[in-house]
């Protein structure tokens, strides 16, 4: 009974495992066999490996168990846990959900999944047979780095040479990072700053986070070293928004006198229309003194410059706005100036959109209608639809004419009931598509929304050997037959990684992760079959962009049972034949275990 081994059967399993690993296990390794044959190997340092019982024992009957037919898929991501030897109930549930999700199309109804304290998961099938997934394959120890994201200081440190910080500059970076994370990092965390400002946070458990130097330091400038002085007296001006030349000269004189011993030699001072003064230093860096700090205003209008909304209102007739269009202009101007106008200011909009701001003292500012409204266009009324499917192209930066035509067709089809009659669609070299409406207005769809680069699998046609490989059983290739076929295909298809399924089906993985598949029927034939030539066969590989891991070429349980459920029939009536098959299966399983251990070590 594979679910309840006798003591003699347990001893036999232990001896088999010990013998298979006699040159591999360190001295002091302990091997324990459970009731269902599941074997736990405990090493001298306390670490463990688990071998599922169904890899070591099988029943004396001819029926195939669920466990023999199914190889559980191990989830791609491990669950991060606080203590891998004592999982919480929530952590166990997360492990169970991961295993269930990874095998949702594989486990038969009624399959029970139980997670142990160390994450080791036992899958019990409806027929009572079991599979075990070691906890080390499903969980990992959480680290301080998992729990913490260092905050980046808002201000960068100006330094003389961003590639070689001085000790004082490094200290300032460290201080900035420490201050930004004073309530964030675990007690005992260490902060170190490299020559280029790159800062490493080392947590108490040894895990680390890194902040790039470019986020923490910048090249220092003259502006970093200088703070222009503001004159004590402001220049009175008639219109603070439009200073005269003489008013600008007076502002420049005041700023020059206030900084006669302060600015580097060669500094330039320029005054803007609103009195804002810019000091440009010899290295090109700048400081700005707001005009409001340099000039004073005599009226509300002198003190205020209404902001112009960023967006103009599209209108049917810019010379004769409707009441609703005027209301929209007024709303836009109000929103753009909500913190700008004196309380009590009034906003009125004329027929052509020209807007007048009347201040409490009666002074006014005017924003031209041409700055606030524009003629509405077809583009205002239309939003082109983006095709659901992108066109695969050889070079997304330089489309061929046929590729452009396909993009145009896709966009046309996606918008067949959407665009005004007479709209024109043009496609650029990078796929960027412009829709030009009858009134000349345009909408643009970025190229990356309509095209994508072809994968390596799209660009390559798989080559097959001239002769099929002769095998004992085309449905169950041996390891050596798989290796021979894999070597042949990799020579014919340089740069690919080839994996072979039990039935000879080959998967060619290209450098970008895309794949082509060649059916085993085109690559292998049973020994004694005279038709072994492929020279006139054109291979049409199955293409997918799914990435796979080269380890799938290993001979562990997952690779050998690539076609789940397809195992050789072992229903011979002769007892000696049965014993022979059982012996061969046991030797194969032990060999696989050894190879699996090697792969794990690698």
Tokens found for residue 346: 């009034």
Distance, CA of 219 to CA of 223 (rounded, Å): 11
The answer to whether 437 touches 496, Cβ cutoff 8 Å, is no
pLDDT value, residue 542: 54
> How many other C-beta atoms are found inside a 10 Å radius of the C-beta of residue 47?
9
* Among the listed residues 41, 42, 36, the one whose alpha carbon sits nearest the alpha carbon of residue 54: 36
To 5 degrees, how large is the angle CA 229–CA 236–CA 306?
Answer: 90
Percent over 90 (pLDDT), the chain: 70
Instruction: Convert the pLDDT of each residue in 432-461 to its tens digit.
Output: 999 999 999 999 999 999 999 888 888 888
What is the maximum alpha-carbon separation in the chain?
A: 117
Using alpha carbons, select from 16, 114, 92 the residue that is nearest to residue 588: 16
Q: What is the pLDDT of residue 374?
A: 95
Are 55 and 2 contacting, i.e. CB atoms less than 8 angstroms apart?
A: no
3-class DSSP state for residue 286? strand
Report the candidate in 386, 390, 396, 389 with the shortest Cα–Cα distance to residue 430. 396
Please give the mean pLDDT across all residues of the chain.
86
Give the strands of the sheet with 39-42, arranged side by side. Answer: 30-33, 39-42, 48-51
Residue 300 near residue 342 (C-beta atoms within 8 A) = yes
Q: How many degrees, rounded to 5, is the angle at CA 255 between CA 249 and CA 259?
A: 140
Contact 556, 595 (CB under 8 A): yes
At residue 550 the predicted structure's pLDDT band, cuts being 50, 70 and 90, is very low
- What is the rounded average pLDDT of the residues 247-271? 96
| Alpha carbon distance, N-terminus to C-terminus of the chain | 35
Burial of 594 by CB count in 10 Å (0-12 exposed, 13-18 middle, 19+ buried)? middle
Segment 395-417 mean pLDDT? 96
Select, from the ranges 30-39, 523-532, 581-590, the one with the highest average predicted confidence (pLDDT): 30-39
**Which band of pLDDT confidence, cut at 50, 70 and 90, is reported for residue 27?**
confident
- The Cα angle at residue 31 between residues 10 and 125, in degrees rounded to 5: 60
Model confidence at 142: pLDDT above 90? no
C-alpha distance from residue 168 to each of 173, 175, 197 (Å)? 9, 10, 12
Q: What is the pTM of this model?
A: 0.34
Q: What is the DSSP code (8-state) at residue 43?
A: -
Is the CB of residue 353 less than 8 Å from the CB of residue 318?
yes
Give the C-alpha separation, 470 to 510, whole Å. 27
- Contact call for residues 508 and 496 (beta carbons, < 8 A): yes
């Amino acid at each position: 009974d594979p679910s309840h081994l006798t003591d003699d059967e347990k001893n036999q399993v232990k001896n088999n495992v010990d013998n298979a690993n006699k040159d591999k296990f360190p001295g002091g390794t302990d091997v324990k066999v459970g009731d269902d044959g599941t074997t736990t190997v405990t090493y001298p340092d306390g670490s463990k490996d688990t071998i599922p019982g169904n890899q070591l024992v099988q029943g004396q009957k001819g029926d195939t168990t669920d466990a023999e037919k199914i190889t559980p898929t191990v989830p791609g991501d491990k669950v991060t846990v606080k203590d891998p030897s004592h999982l919480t109930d929530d952590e166990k549930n997360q492990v169970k959900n991961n295993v269930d999700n990874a095998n949702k199309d594989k486990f038969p109804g009624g399959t029970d999944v139980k997670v142990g304290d160390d994450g080791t998961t036992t899958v019990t099938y409806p027929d009572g047979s079991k599979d075990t997934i070691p906890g080390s394959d499903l969980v990992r120890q959480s680290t301080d780095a998992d729990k913490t994201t260092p905050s980046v200081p808002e201000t960068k440190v100006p330094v003389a040479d961003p590639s070689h910080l001085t000790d004082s500059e490094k200290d300032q970076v460290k201080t900035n990072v420490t201050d930004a994370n004073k309530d964030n990092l675990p007690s005992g965390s260490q902060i170190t700053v490299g020559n280029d400002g790159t800062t490493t946070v080392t947590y108490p458990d040894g895990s680390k986070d890194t902040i790039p130097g470019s986020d923490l330091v910048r090249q220092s400038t003259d502006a970093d070293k200088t703070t222009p002085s503001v004159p004590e007296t402001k220049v009175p001006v008639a219109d603070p928004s439009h200073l005269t030349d003489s008013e600008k000269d007076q502002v420049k004189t005041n700023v020059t006198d206030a900084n006669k011993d302060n600015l580097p030699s060669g500094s330039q001072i320029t005054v803007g229309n609103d009195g804002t003064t810019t000091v440009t230093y010899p290295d090109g860096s700048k400081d700005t003194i707001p005009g409001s700090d340099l000039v004073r205003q005599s009226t509300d209008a002198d003190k205020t410059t209404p902001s112009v909304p960023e967006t103009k209102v599209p209108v049917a007739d810019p010379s004769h706005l409707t009441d609703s269009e005027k209301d929209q202009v007024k709303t836009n101007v109000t929103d753009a100036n909500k913190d700008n106008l004196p309380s009590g200011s009034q906003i009125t909009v004329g027929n052509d959109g020209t807007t007048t701001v009347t201040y409490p003292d009666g002074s006014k500012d005017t924003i031209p209608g041409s700055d606030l409204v524009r003629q509405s266009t077809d583009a205002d009324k239309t939003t082109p639809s983006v095709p659901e499917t992108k066109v695969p192209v050889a070079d997304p930066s330089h489309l061929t004419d046929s590729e452009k035509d396909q993009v145009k067709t896709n966009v046309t089809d996606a918008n067949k009931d959407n665009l005004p009659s007479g709209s024109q669609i043009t496609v650029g070299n990078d796929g960027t598509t412009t829709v030009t409406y009858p009134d000349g207005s345009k909408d643009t769809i970025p190229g990356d929304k309509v095209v994508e680069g072809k994968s390596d699998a799209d660009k390559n046609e798989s080559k097959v050997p001239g002769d099929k490989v002769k095998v004992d059983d085309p449905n169950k290739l041996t390891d050596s037959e798989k290796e021979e076929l894999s070597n042949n295909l990799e020579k014919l298809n340089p740069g690919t990684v080839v994996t072979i399924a039990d039935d000879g089906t080959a998967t060619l993985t290209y450098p970008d992760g895309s794949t082509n598949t060649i059916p085993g029927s085109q690559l292998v034939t049973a020994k004694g079959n005279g038709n072994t030539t492929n020279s006139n066969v054109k291979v049409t590989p199955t293409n997918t962009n799914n990435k796979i891991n080269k380890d799938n070429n290993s001979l562990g349980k997952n690779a050998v049972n690539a076609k789940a459920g397809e195992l050789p029939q072992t229903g011979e009536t002769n007892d000696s034949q049965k014993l022979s098959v059982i012996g061969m299966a046991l030797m194969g399983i032990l060999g696989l275990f050894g190879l699996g251990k090697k792969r794990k070590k690698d």
